[in-house]
């Protein structure tokens, strides 16, 4: 006569329990690694590209993921435009500013002048980011070239259509 708690019956259930625990562990690892990537992206979102040597002059954080910076650089404004173009930016350059040899065109008058607006959309983790750089030349403080850099992160993963009225007009 065998009883309900005999060693033969418990040894047949034991391997199924190990298999079930193994499947649960694998699922936890797969899901956990994806969740960790998303958490890291939320805690430390990427910043827009920035030319080497640029120095931060100001920073305003409207909310987490919506920021505006002003950077000063001693680089030529057309070199900065080239930098953003090389970093997947779509750039609209004001007429007569940058030539093929990347030299600034002479402009009448003094003070700073807008040179270009560059922007791009990018994805990271499950999120999306839009950055915009407004490049101007002729500054007396903080470097000859200023970059007004902004970013907007869409935590839903989809970016809204770009507003063409932001930035400055193509032909002032």
Instruction: Kindly give the confidence (pLDDT) of every residue in the chain, 172 residues in length, as a single tens digit, with 9 standing for 90 and above.
Output: 555 555 555 555 567 778 888 888 888 888 877 778 778 778 888 889 999 999 999 999 988 889 999 999 998 888 999 999 999 999 998 887 776 554 555 454 566 788 999 999 988 888 899 999 999 988 877 778 999 999 999 888 777 776 654 543 333 3
**Two structure tokens written together for 7:** 């060693």
DSSP three-state, residue 8:
helix
CB count in 10 Å sphere of residue 105 = 12
pLDDT for the residue numbered 167 = 42
pLDDT for the residue numbered 168 = 34
* Rounded-to-integer distance, Cα 21 and Cα 51, Å: 51
* Residue 8: partners with Cβ closer than 8 Å, 6 or more residues away: 2
Do the strands 55-63 and 113-124 form a parallel or antiparallel pair, or are they unpaired? unpaired
Output the DSSP codes for 75-129: S-HHHHHHHHHHTT-EEEEPTTSB-TT-PBPP-SSSS-EEEEEEEEEEEETTEEE
pLDDT for the residue numbered 170 = 36
For the chain, what's the residue count?
172
pLDDT for the residue numbered 13 = 57
- What are the C-alpha distances in Å from 73 to residues 21, 55, 80, 102, 156? 58, 6, 9, 16, 34
* Rounded-to-integer distance, Cα 48 and Cα 70, Å: 12
Q: Which of 46, 29, 36 is nearest to 153 (CA)?
A: 46
Angle, CA of 160, 163 and 85, to the nearest 5°: 90
Helix/strand/coil percent split, the chain, to 5 = 25, 35, 40
pLDDT for the residue numbered 103 = 55
């Amino acid at each position: 006569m065998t009883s309900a708690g005999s060693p033969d019956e418990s040894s047949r259930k034991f391997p199924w329990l190990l298999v079930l625990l193994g499947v649960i562990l694998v699922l936890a690892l797969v899901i956990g690694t994806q969740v960790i990537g998303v958490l890291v992206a939320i805690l430390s979102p990427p910043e827009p590209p920035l030319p080497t040597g640029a120095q931060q002059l100001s920073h305003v954080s409207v909310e987490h993921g919506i920021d505006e910076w002003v950077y000063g650089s001693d680089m030529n404004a057309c070199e900065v435009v080239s930098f953003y173009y090389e970093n997947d930016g779509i750039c609209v350059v004001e007429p007569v500013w940058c030539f093929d040899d990347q030299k600034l065109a002479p402009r009448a008058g003094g003070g700073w002048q807008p040179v270009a607006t560059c922007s791009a959309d990018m994805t990271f983790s499950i999120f999306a980011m839009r950055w915009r750089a407004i490049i101007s030349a002729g500054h007396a403080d903080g470097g000859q070239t200023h970059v007004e850099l902004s970013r907007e992160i869409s935590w839903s993963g989809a970016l809204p259509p770009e507003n063409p009225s932001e930035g400055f007009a193509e032909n002032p």
